With several copies, the nearest count.
Chain A
Amino acid sequence: MSCIVEAAGIRFRYDSGFEALRGVDFRLCAGESVAVLGPNGSGKTTFLLHLNGILRGEGQLRVCGMDVEPRHFAAIRRKVGILFQDPEDQLFRPTVLEDVSFGPLQAGLSKASAETRAKQALAQVGIHDGWTRAPYHLSGGEKQRVALAGILAVQPEVLVLDEPTTHLDPPARRALLDLLATLPQAKMIVTHDTSFARALCPRAVFFESGRIAADGPAEEIIRRFRWEI
């Protein structure tokens, strides 16, 4: 079977000597949505950063059929779209449109077609104007949507979201839920918001001190670890 992510025995130690991952085994197939649950400090964010080679530990890791190695980084980073925890860190260009077209431009598109792509992605997240606004003029929810558009503009095969609902008010959270439900890509969603996880992901994995302690139906995992909020 062709899987998008195949990880086996991933181990990683930070410079400080702390061993954040201690043998992670994980598979994700096309079109699947997985919730990534687990306590604070269990290594969820650290694991995500391995998927496109930003952190590199020991073990076997293949993404979209390629080993995660420097010569494949460019290709892999086009297929894996990671949305980080703080949208402020992702909007690093002076205007919304420039920011969203950053990815396509880096992928070698012309300026014009990168901007067309960016506008499509912005429309997908429900932003139809204000393209020349600067990021610091946006509200928290808008920042998050622009950041998501920046990921979508690269047309990745898998979306990886790190706590996408923090700071969103309930209507904005519902809007994000609806938006994500319409996107066809495979998804990995790190979240402490179990009702969000349950609404989007039939499957869940549970991290515990640097390992995946359980993998199975989201309902069951939430019940088993008493993870209900």
Chain B
Amino acid sequence: MAQRIAGSHFVFDEWSRGSSALHRLSPRTKLVLFLSLLVITAVWPQSWLLFGLAFALVLAARLPLFGVAARAALVLPFTLVFAAATWLSGDAHRALALLWKSYLSALWVALLMATTPLEHVLEAAAGFGAPRLLIDVMSFTWRYLGVISEQAWRMRTAALARGGERSFEISASTLAVLFASSYARAERIHRAMASRGQKI
């Protein structure tokens, strides 16, 4: 009924606390750097040459090459479907370009996230003018993502443990109760923030 947020989803969190030169670079600089690399990848037909640079950066940041490459590969399922469709319509060249372009782009993002804690990326984005509200919401969403999906998993476990079968209706009422409980949690968080003197 519910998949589980795997611990591997938090792997960036571990990697990003490293201490290489790339890790120490200011988050704003890195954001600009990787956005530029993304744009170059998007517009330069020969940008596959940049694969070398990407892997060099992974090694320079003392990150596990295979691990980062595997993270970026998460993009492939979607890409493969469309690459296949393009191939079928007779454009093999473009199909190939779709594959490497999306993979290279995913590598850049993975590199950014593997060398910069999310909260720093968010601060940098705020520095460049992203709306404060959006940044705050992202920060909370990220913080409670694990907590609430873990709870979803445990609710499903509880249903199974009492002999529940997978069913549409049970999933729906589970979600409704999860919503209720999340609502109550938001209320409690707000209370905790107010109690610690959050400015109004």
- Asked if A and B form a direct contact in the complex, defined as CB atoms under 8 angstroms apart, the reply is yes
- A84-B192, A90-B192 known; A16 vs B158 contact (CB < 8 Å): no
Residues of A in contact, count (CB < 8 Å): 38
Of A17, A80, A86, A135, which one neighbours B195 at CB under 8 angstroms?
A: A80
B21 within 8 A of A: no
When distances are taken between beta carbons in the complex, the residues of chain B under 8 Å from A15 are 4, 6-8
With a CB–CB cut-off of 8 A, which chain B residues contact A73?
Answer: 160, 200
Q: A103, B197: Cβ atoms under 8 Å?
A: yes
Tell me whether A78 and B188 are in contact (CB under 8 A).
Answer: no
Nearest Cβ distance between residue A129 and chain B, in whole angstroms? 13
A74 touches B197 (CB 8 A): yes
- Closest Cβ of chain B to A196, distance in Å, is 22
Inside 8 A of B143's CB, which chain A residues have their CB? 92-94, 135-136
Q: Does B130 contact A (CB under 8 A)?
A: no
Q: How far is the CB of A98 from chain B (nearest CB, A)?
A: 7
Binary CB contact string for chain A from 90 to 102 against chain B (1 if under 8 A, 0 otherwise): 1111110010001
Beta-carbon contact of B197 and A107 below 8 Å? yes
Complex CA gap A88/B199 in Å reads 21
Residues from chain B with Cβ under 8 Å of A90 in the complex: 155, 158, 189, 192
Give the interface size class of chain B: 35 or more
A26 at interface by CB-CB < 8 Å: no
Interface string of A103-140 (1 = CB under 8 A from B): 10011000000000000000000000000101111000
Which of B4, B6, B10, B163 gathers the greatest number of chain A CB atoms within 10 Å?
B163
| Contact for A150 among B147, B162, B194, CB less than 8 A | B162
A35 within 8 A of B: no
Mask of B1-43 contacts with A, CB within 8 angstroms, 1/0? 0001011101001000100000000000000000000000000
Question: What total count of A-B pairs have CB within 8 Å?
Answer: 148
Question: Which secondary structure characterizes the binding site on chain B?
Answer: helix
Pick the contact of A92: B119, B140, B197 (CB < 8 A). B140
* A152 CB to nearest B CB, Å: 11
Residue of A nearest to B151 (CB): A89
Chain A 133-169 against B: per-residue CB contact (8 Å), 1 yes, 0 no? 0111100000000000011001000000000000000
Contacting pair A52 B161 (CB below 8 A)? yes
Complex Cα distance A29/B194, Å?
24
- Of listed B119, B158, B176, B181, residue having the most chain A CB within 10 A: B158
Contacts of A34 in B (CB 8 A): none
B163 pairs with A150, CB closer than 8 A: no
B191: which A residues are within 8 A, CB to CB? 49, 54, 84, 89
Checking B147, B159, B163, B174 against A78 with a beta-carbon cut-off of 8 angstroms, the contacting residue is B163
In the complex formed, the residue of A with least CB distance to B170 is A92
Q: Which residues of B contact A94 (CB under 8 A)?
A: 117-119, 139, 142-143, 173, 176-177
Q: Is A187 an interface residue (CB 8 A)?
A: no
> What are some 15 contacts across the A-B interface (CB < 8 A)?
A52-B161, A54-B195, A81-B195, A82-B192, A89-B154, A89-B189, A89-B192, A90-B189, A92-B155, A92-B174, A95-B119, A106-B164, A106-B199, A134-B13, A136-B146
